Amino acid sequence: MTTATPPAQAISLLGCSPGNVCIYRGDLYIFAYPIPGDIYYTYGFRRIYNKIGNYYVKNNQTGGASVKLCTDLNGAVCPTTIPAGGELYVNLTPINSINLVK
């Protein structure tokens, strides 16, 4: 299981507003192109598609909410957790869904 370390508080960062989970293309230098390709802002699982290779995932949720990266389609088998305010550069090829949990 992989767990990212959170910073002290969530602030708007690289186009990712507080309360959101943002996924950025991994083949772009994130500080030169700070526009997320995907933004999620409600709790629950979401299937993700066509994410091959490395991506930067920013969990800018607040209040202790985490995002889980899951290998199944239903957000249940989740080997990686990113806590509120955390971020992770990760290979999303084996990831088929994400689960935003409170």
CATH label of the domain that carries residue 60 = 2.60.20
16 φ/ψ angles, rounded to the nearest 5 degrees: -110, 100
Question: By residue range, what is the domain housing residue 71?
Answer: 2-101
pTM over 0.85: no
pLDDT of residue 5: 47
Cα separation of 13 and 53, whole Å? 23
- Say how many domains are in the chain: 1
Amino acid at the residue 41: Y
pLDDT digits (tens, 9 = 90+) for 45-90: 999 998 999 999 999 999 999 999 999 999 899 999 999 999 999 9
pLDDT category, 28, cuts 50, 70, 90? low
**Cα gap 95→97, rounded to integer Å:** 6
